[in-house]
Every structure is written in C-alpha cells, then in structure tokens.
Amino acid sequence: MRVKELANLAGITVRALHYYDQLGLLCPRKDQSNYRFYSKEDVAKLSQILYLRELGFPLSKIMLIIDKSNLDKRKALSIHRELIKKKIERVESLIESIDNTLAKGFEIDMIKRFSKKEFNKYKEEAIKKYGDVAIQSHKKTDKFDDAKWSDVQKEMNEIFVMISKNMDKDVSDSIIQSSIDDWRRFISENFYECTIQIFRGLGELYVTDKRFTKNIDNIKQGLSNYLQLAINYYCDNQ
C-alpha cells in the first residue's frame, strides 16, 4: 500500500506518516526511488499507534510500548483505562453542574456542587483523618435521596454567596456573623455536630487544604482566608 492510500484509509495526513518514519516508529519498505510501501504488518502497527494516540499517550511513550511485550502493553492500557474512567467521572460531574445551572437559570452558583457519588469517593479518606466525625457525617448523608442532596447543596451555596457579597465588611459585622452562625447550624443539621472546637478546625482546613481553598476561592478570591477569620471571631465570642 502506498503512503497516500494508507493516509486516506487511516484518516491521517501523509506528513504524519512521514514523521512516524523519521522517528523510527513506523518504517515501511522503500523502493529504489525512495517511495514508501506499507505491508499488512505496517498497517496493523499503525492501528496500534493511532489507538494509543487516541488514549493520550505521547509518541515517545508509544515507541517504548510498541517495542515491548504484550504484557507491558496490557499493563499500560490498564493504567490508562483507569485514567479515562476518572476523566469520565469529572465530565459527568461537570455535566451535572451545567444541568443544574440550566434548570434554575443563571443565578449565582459559584461554589462547586459535588454529586453524592463524588462526595462518597472521599469517604475512606475522611474517616481515616477525622474518625467519628466523618462516620457521623456519612451516616446522615447516606440517607439523603437526590432531592435532599440537591437542597443541601443549594443551601450551602446560598450561605457562601451571601458571605462573599459582604467581604468588604469587617468579619465582626452582624451580617457576616449571622451567616457564619447559619453555616455552623447547617453543618450540624446535615453532617455532624459542629462544636466550637471542630468549627475552628474547619476554618483552618479552608486555608491549609488546597482542595478546600481552590473550591471556596472560586466564589471570590480570598474568601477562604476571610472565612477563617470570620469563624475565628465567631468562636472567640461564643
């Protein structure tokens, strides 16, 4: 098969096939005029290359995989399969967020809404780090149906947005402190008994755990630090 025929068959450019040849990745037989001729084996190899490219492997990695045993190929594909599954989960979460936004109109919803499935992914980590508090939280949330979970997420969003809109005020302001009290009540009602000690620790977590900081600061830059200060003031005055 000539280079142009293979390019048309595979849906790639002639230039790409020339490049694979230059790299030593796919080197067909050449005649005296230096024309390339691709065998059935070359076509099969190209199929592998394009498949791995579709999975996201760079050409440097593909060269290593192609030259190794089938066991190595299976291992590489198995690892990449898991990566693809995680990408799918992230996309599904994004679609859910978009659907929620479309369903309710474009009201403010800056904080990332976690699906119950995504929330439960961190269950083991939370229990390991926070013990009985995390167990108590999951005992409650495991009973939530989709409607309840949606309501919880909506209320959380409303509290955080209210605080973000008033960040020009001192953390001691009654509007801020009322919202902070709402946040503590919200946690106690929906997740676990939020004692003063736990609440203060939660404020610390907002600035020490990058996952929390990034999510909260998506609402408004600096909100995570502001929340910690507001929570500390609240705890100091209880």
Per-residue pLDDT of the chain (238 residues; tens, 9 = 90+): 888 888 888 888 888 899 889 888 899 998 888 889 999 888 888 888 887 777 667 787 788 777 665 545 666 667 667 767 766 766 665 566 556 555 544 344 434 444 444 444 444 544 454 455 545 555 665 666 777 777 777 888 888 888 988 899 899 888 898 889 888 888 888 777 778 888 888 888 888 888 778 888 888 889 989 999 999 999 988 7
Separation of alpha carbons 127 and 197, rounded Å: 18
Q: Residue 113's pLDDT is what?
A: 45
Q: 37 — phi, psi (to 5°)? A: -130, 125
Q: Are 39 and 46 in contact (CB under 8 A)?
A: no
Assessment of whether the complete model's pTM goes beyond 0.85:
no
Q: Say if residue 12 is exposed, middle or buried (CB neighbours under 10 Å; 0-12, 13-18, 19+).
A: middle
Q: Residue 220's pLDDT is what?
A: 86
Separation of alpha carbons 86 and 98, rounded Å: 19
- Within 13 A of 105's CA, how many CA atoms are on the CB side? 1
- Continuous H helices in 68-209: 70-104, 116-121, 123-130, 132-141, 146-165, 174-190, 196-208
Both tokens of 106, joined, read 């474009």
